[in-house]
Amino acid sequence: MTGPDPILDALCPMHLRVDLNGRVIHVGPTLRKILGAAEIEGAAFFQLFTVRRPRGAGTMAALVSGARRRAKLELVRAPHTPFVAQVVPEPAGGAVINLSFGIGLAAALGDHALTSADFAPTDLTVEMLFLIESKSAVMASALERNARLHSARVVAEEQALTDTLTGLGNRRAVDLELARLAARRRPFALMHLDLDHFKAVNDTFGHAAGDHVLQEIAQVLGDAIRTGDVAARLGGDEFLLILSRPPSPRALELMARRLVRRIEEPIHYRHALLSVSASVGIARHDGTGPLDLVALFDSADAALYAAKSAGRGRVSLAPSDRTEPPVSPNRIAPHDGA
C-alpha cells in the first residue's frame, strides 16, 4: 500500500502512515485537522511528535520494536496534546500509527475544534465526552441543590425550638414560654444554672467529653421537671428551668440543692470519670402585680452571680424571694454521698 486508503481514513480518521525513514506518507482526515498544517505529507514524523514511550525512540525501527502494543506520543508544538498510539509495522518497513486521545480527551477536545463527525461512529470518544459532561453537569446541579437545601436548613434551625445537642429547649423556646407565662397571671419560677468546672472537663478530656457531660446534665434536668415545665439550654454550659407551678421559695431552694447533688455525681465517659458541679440562681414571680420579664431574668442572673461568687456548687435565691434570712451558703461538697 502506498497511496491514501479511503477505508482506513473512514475507520481510523486519526491514523497516519510513516515510511521506513520516518517520513509521513499519509494522514487521516481528523488528525490532519489536529495537526493544522496543509503540507504534512513528506514531513518528518519525529519533528511532529515527541515519543514519550517507548522512551527515547528516535527512529522508526526503535518505535516499531519498542511499542509492543501501546505507544505514547505528544505534539511537538503547543498545546502539546498527548496521544495514545497503536503502532502497526508494515512489511516494507515503516508503520501505520493510529492515534487516540485516551483519557485526556476532555482537555484535548478543548484545544482542538472537533465535531462528532470527526470520529468513527463506533469510536466511544463522543460517548465518553457525553458522560463526562453529563456527570459534571449533574454534579454541579447536585451541589447547587445542596446549597439551596443547606440554606433552607439554616432557616429551619433558626425557627427550631430544640437545642440540637441536648434535646432540651433552646433560647427561642424560652422566649416563647416566657411570653406565654407573662400573658397568664400565675406564679412561676426561673432556675438559672451554670455548670462549674466544665471548662476543665473540656480542656482535659476534649469537646466530645464536654458534649457528653452536657447531655447527661440535660437528662438530669429533664427528669427533675414536671409536665408543663420547660428545661432549656441557653448556650454553652448555661441552663434554665421554667417552673410553672413553683413551690415555696424554701422548697425551690431544696429542689435546686438536690439538682446540684445529682449534677455532681461523677459521669462515666470512656475510661474516665468526669466531675462537674453547678451554681444556681432562682427568681420567682408570685403571679400578682405587673410582670417585668427582663427584671425577673436579671434577678435570677444576679442570684446566680451571688451563688458563683460565694463558691462553687451553691444555690442562691433572688433577694425579693427571701422570706427568711439567707440560708448561709453552705458548701455542698462534691460526692457527699447524700
Partner 1 sequence: MVGEREECAGMHALLNRMLHVFVEDTYGTEVWCDVLEGAGLSAVELDSLGPQTIRTTRALSRAVETVLARSVDTVLEDVGTYLVSHPNAQSVRRLLRFCGTDFVDFLHSLEDLPDRIRLAVPSLSLPEIEVAEEREARFLITCRGPLPGVGHLLAGLLRAMADDYGTLALLEHEGRSCDGDRLRVTLVDTAFSEGRRFVLGAGGAAPLLAGRHP
CB of 269 to partner 1, least distance (A): 37
CB of 253 to partner 1, least distance (A): 47
Residue 33 or 250: which CB sits closer to partner 1? 33
Q: Which spans of this chain sit near partner 1 (rule: CB under 8 A)?
A: 106, 108-117, 126-127, 129-131, 133-141, 143-145, 148-149, 152
Residue 76 or 156: which CB sits closer to partner 1? 156
CB of 116 to partner 1, least distance (A): 5
Residue 136 or 204: which CB sits closer to partner 1? 136
CB of 35 to partner 1, least distance (A): 17
Residue 76 or 131: which CB sits closer to partner 1? 131
**13, burial (CB in 10 Å: exposed 0-12, middle 13-18, buried 19+):** buried
CB of 117 to partner 1, least distance (A): 4
Residue 135 or 180: which CB sits closer to partner 1? 135
Contact 82, 52 (CB under 8 A): yes
Residue 130 or 184: which CB sits closer to partner 1? 130
CB of 169 to partner 1, least distance (A): 24
